[in-house]
Amino acid sequence: MEVYHLLNQLRADDAKFYSNPEILWRISRALYVMSQNDLFSKSICEEMIQEAYRLIRFALSVKDDNAEVHKWNAILIDSTAGYLGIYTRIRVIPDVKKHLLHAAELKPSDVTTLYMLGHLCYQLASLTWFQRKLANLLLMSPPCATYEEAYNYFLMVEKLQPRFSISNTFMLGKVSFHMKQCYRAKYYFDIAASLPYRTEQEKKYSQEAKKLSKELHRYDVSKAALFYGWRT
């Protein structure tokens, strides 16, 4: 909250910062982070997200070649839609993906953007029959993705920043499992389970990784499994 107030004060005190995209996306990020705090009511959190979205849209209108602006625009489009129901959330998927791809083009080394692209591709590849039918009804050209695409994004994160997070390593295992590459899946689950967790979410990933690794106990991880091009 202190960061939000400091940035807002800076923007209010100096006209040159009022429309500065670097200030605007940081205020939007601060609002988003505050909205994740359970201390605030749902209505207050929604107001924070709406304010953050207005600011990031303003930043985008000022300068559309800033990777952070596009990344946070994608996050806030999805967050805003989350308050409006499943239909709206499905409708905004193409916009979310478009801004994430633009952010990745502007800043290819941003592991957070690449992770989000991987997660989005994983979610699209995992849609149920009903969800696909709903997407077909709501969108002229519903977005689609494969587990291979998701894996490639997560792998880019791993190559750029090895052991970036438990969540990325866990998702490499999960996607590998869906691709029926069980040796590789167990390899990544074992790594995810061995990494120290820093948040409650990472703790859940760590516990799930241990559970899935045990279920794949019959798959011995040989050296062959460590090669990225290897397939079962």
Please give the residue range of the domain that contains residue 36: 1-92
Give a yes or no: residue 103 inside a domain: no
Q: What is the pLDDT of residue 39?
A: 86
In a domain, 3, yes or no: yes
**Residue 199 belongs to some domain of the structure:** no
Instruction: For Cα atoms 34, 91, 102, give the angle at the middle one, nearest 5 degrees.
Output: 70
Total of domains in the chain: 1
What are the Cα distances from residue 93, in Å, to 116, 127, 133, 139, 143?
12, 13, 15, 10, 7
Please report the pLDDT score of residue 145 as a whole number. 92
Residue 19 lies in a domain: yes
Q: Residue 56's closest CA among 38, 37, 36, 30? A: 30
CA angle 72, 196, 214 (to 5 degrees): 105
pLDDT in tens, 87-119: 888 889 999 999 999 999 999 999 999 999 999
| Structural domain includes residue 127 | no
What integer pLDDT is reported at residue 5 of this predicted model? Answer: 58
**CA neighbor of 195 nearest in space, from 215, 174, 216, 170:** 170
- 72 in a structural domain: yes
In the chain, which residues have pLDDT < 70?
1-18, 220-232
pLDDT at 227: 47
Whether residue 18 lies inside any domain: the answer is: yes
CATH number at residue 66: 1.25.40.10
218 within some domain? no
Q: Do residues 89 and 67 make contact, with C-beta atoms less than 8 angstroms apart?
A: no
